A and B are shown apart, each in its own frame.
Chain A
């Protein structure tokens, strides 16, 4: 896309998000061709939409679509794809003794579906995707820290055969990589939204006869927030270009940590006003805390990276000029 197309694309997505939510939003995205964009220019489609989702605190089934497409499954945009349990990256299904043991999280699209797609690993390490009827599984709708996200916890052991139809081989690590980038952009979007809330508050709120944005302690918190967010955004872009699971995971972990850094600074600047339920800030904090745990938590992904580096005893050369 050139600059003009990109602007148009972003504007139409922005409108869709402003006018719709839930299944209506999914339909609007489908109508304006977001899924086509995803197959032609995945980076643009994902970066623009997920940053907006983060900024608007919106929910959609776009993550299901990103994962499904990256896994190489063709579902015509209608599937709910099961995510791993909180903080995990391994496939939510495990094939053993003619059955599939399932444990994972489903996004809000599950509410409007009768079945869920479960990627399961078999004994040889390969992955297959199964279509599993919702009725076969134990479903716990999650209230939790961020009820608006509409997550559900799913579990069960399903005998293979009539209860679970096989959809074919699935590239799970590609799905996790691209899903991680999507979540990274959503975290960046949420970070930018929080920063904008805090920034405008800092310009308006007067204490000691001056806008609080004139106090250096406040300015430096906001500037540290911007640095964290921009750094995360830059790492995401480089990870797209690099195209490996290693950098996608790094970028997701870093985006999670950066968004939480920004959340802390912005909350302090918003102070009492930001602590009310009426103020939008808390919705971003909730979202960031949960997104940080999906497809691997920043803390465990980061620890894993460190263990790998200490094990390999070298620092890989990445991002050549």
Chain B
């Protein structure tokens, strides 16, 4: 299906099913409520076929270009039916499975993720390893029965809700760096895994510490080749910086629009409002071009760091305006709407941290796009 036909048909379906899709909670829900809403929306859009477009048939998809996925997330966000950040996680996780899991495993698992029957998480960061991912130390040892995993992950988003985890482990020597990492697809109900949710500063237990104590993972759950997990992580980065960023942009668009419709116009400097709008549209223009390249079958690379830098900056700029224009909601309001603005303001502070900090993105731009050579 082409994007224009898809858009028209989906918009009509969303109008018809407005009541069924609407969240049962008002304003900022608890994380449990948000997760329940997400699962409900995922199931409805999957069963009606919408979220199967843009994914290959071998994982239960209906084919068609990735633009269809980009539009689906955009319109669900624009209608305030889902929270873009958690909604977009399959945009990274599903391609990992499609590209690196065995065909049978991908065909079995991906539909569960897309339909919202399961939540998955991404276990990359560790207490000692954030930006310097290649130094990770969570260990996997090959035994007769399979991999035995021991170690710790941290800031693992939605781990406490997750049925599976895409986990990066150390399989080479301790100092093998990026040459000795293996990616595994782990069942979160395996014996030896314990999850301890962490409260974030925006007040939700969105991420967790995850402990692995001699956890058995069958060899057929290895993603890609042994010791080649680094290339998986690298191949996935452009996915992190394409469709999910388009969805993020749609969220910022909605909230900026809502700010404009609520704010006392005197409370904001018009020039600043204009600057932020231009930045947001510039991101949208850039991200649309990226979506189109992806749809044409181009391989995305380091240039997507520019998209990420733009959206991170735009998110903080939008919520800096919110903090000025709706200062009393953000600072002293305790009603549902105020709590939501406040939580989103706080969450926007992380936009320059997660998914690779803006310093790391700038390093990539300098190294790969400007070809400035080594930084030592």
For the complex, is B370 an interface residue (Cβ under 8 Å from A)? yes
Inside 8 A of B362's CB, which chain A residues have their CB? 219-220, 223-224
B residues near A310, Cβ cutoff 8 Å:
260, 263, 265, 268, 270, 273
Asked if B372 contacts A234 (CB within 8 A), the reply is no
| Segment of B178-186, B233-241, B282-290, B331-339 in the binding face | B282-290
Interface residues in B264-290 by Cβ distance below 8 A to A read: 265, 268-275, 277-279, 281-286, 288-289
Main secondary structure of the interface of A (DSSP, over half): helix
Q: Are A321 and B306 in contact (CB under 8 A)?
A: no
**B363 at the A/B interface (Cβ < 8 Å)?**
yes
B282 touching A321, Cβ below 8 Å: no
Answer whether residue B25 sits at the interface, using C-beta atoms and an 8 A cutoff: no
What residues of B have a CB within 8 angstroms of the CB of A307 in the complex? Answer: 270, 274
Whole-angstrom CA separation of A87 from B366 in the bound complex: 35
CB distance from A301 to the nearest CB of B (A): 8
> Given the complex, which residues of A lie within 8 Å of B207, measured CB to CB?
none
CB distance from B9 to the nearest CB of A (A): 14
* A-side contacts of B288, CB under 8 Å: 238, 319, 321
Query: Which residues of chain B are near A312, meaning CB under 8 Å?
Result: 260
Contact A321 B271 (CB under 8 A): no
Of the stretches B66-74, B159-167, B189-197, the one at the interface is B66-74
Which of A19-27, A140-148, A210-218 forms contacts with chain B? A210-218
Query: Does B253 interact with chain A (Cβ within 8 Å)?
Result: yes
In the complex, what residue of chain B is closest to A312 when comparing beta carbons? B260
Q: What is the chain A residue whose CB lies nearest that of B65? A: A321
Contact digits for B301-316, partner A, Cβ 8 Å, 1 yes 0 no: 0000010011000000
* Closest Cβ–Cβ distance, residue A273 to chain B (whole Å): 18
| Contact call B274/A306, Cβ cutoff below 8 A | yes
- Decide: A222 and B278 in contact? CB cutoff 8 A: no
A253 touches B370 (CB 8 A): no
CB-CB under 8 A from B268, the residues of chain A are: 306, 310
A199 is contacted by which of B260, B270, B359, B370 (Cβ under 8 Å)? B370
CB nearest neighbor in B for A219: B366
**Known contacts A214-B376, A222-B370; A311 and B286 CB within 8 A of each other:** no
Given contacts A226-B369, A227-B306, A310-B260, contact A220 B359 (CB under 8 A): yes
B282 touches A231 (CB 8 A): yes
Q: Are A321 and B3 in contact (CB under 8 A)?
A: yes
A303 touches B271 (CB 8 A): yes
Q: Is the CB of B257 within 8 A of A222?
A: no
A311 to B139, CA, bound (A): 58
Assign chain B's interface to a size class: 35 or more
Q: Are B257 and A314 in contact (CB under 8 A)?
A: yes
Beta-carbon contact of A213 and B271 below 8 Å? no
Interface majority SS on B: helix, strand, loop or mixed? helix
Q: Which residues of A contact B278 (CB under 8 A)?
A: 235, 250, 253-254, 257, 302, 305
**A318 part of interface (Cβ distance < 8 Å):** yes
Q: At the interface, yes or no: A271 with Cβ under 8 Å from chain B?
A: no
- Assuming A223-B365, A310-B270, is B70 touching A321 (CB within 8 A)? yes
Task: Name, among B3, B272, B277, B369, the residue most crowded by chain A CB atoms within 10 Å (CB to CB).
Answer: B277
A234-B282, A310-B260, A321-B74 known; A211 vs B373 contact (CB < 8 Å) = yes
A315 in contact (CB, < 8 A):
yes
Given A220-B362, A222-B366, also A314-B261 (CB < 8 A)? yes
A231 touches B374 (CB 8 A): no
Q: Is B348 an interface residue (CB 8 A)?
A: no
A307 CB to nearest B CB, Å: 4
Contact (Cβ within 8 A) A306 B277: yes
Given the contacts A216-B375, A219-B375, A222-B366, A231 and B274 also touching, CB distance less than 8 Å: no
- A234 and B286 in contact, given A203-B372, A203-B373 (Cβ under 8 angstroms): yes
Enumerate chain B residues within 8 angstroms of A257, measured Cβ to Cβ.
275, 278
B291 at interface, CB cutoff 8 A: yes
- CB of B1, distance to nearest CB on chain A (Å): 13
Say whether A202 faces chain B, with CB atoms less than 8 Å apart: yes
**Other-chain residue from A202, A220, A224, A318 in contact with B281 (beta carbon distance below 8 A):** A318
Find the A residue at minimum CB distance from B270: A306
A311, B359: Cβ atoms closer than 8 Å: no
The answer to whether B53 has its CB under 8 Å from any CB of chain A is no
Task: Tell me whether A237 is interfacial, beta carbon within 8 Å.
Answer: yes
Interface centre among B256, B309, B372 (most CB of A within 10 A): B372
CA of A223 to CA of B375 in the docked complex: distance in angstroms? Answer: 13
Is the beta-carbon distance between B269 and A321 smaller than 8 angstroms?
no
A259 to B278, CA, bound (A): 14
A199-B370, A213-B373, A231-B283 provided; 20 other pairs, C-beta below 8 A?
A: A203-B372, A214-B375, A219-B362, A222-B366, A224-B362, A231-B310, A232-B282, A238-B285, A238-B288, A247-B281, A254-B282, A302-B274, A303-B271, A306-B269, A306-B270, A306-B271, A306-B274, A312-B260, A320-B7, A321-B74
Q: Can you identify 24 A-B contacts, CB atoms within 8 angstroms? A: A199-B370, A202-B372, A213-B372, A219-B362, A219-B363, A219-B367, A219-B370, A220-B362, A223-B370, A230-B286, A231-B279, A234-B285, A234-B289, A253-B278, A257-B275, A302-B271, A305-B277, A306-B274, A310-B260, A311-B265, A313-B265, A315-B253, A315-B260, A321-B74
* B interface residue numbers (CB < 8 A to A): 3, 7, 67, 70-71, 74, 253, 256-257, 260-261, 263, 265, 268-275, 277-279, 281-286, 288-289, 291, 306, 309-310, 359, 362-363, 365-367, 369-370, 372-376
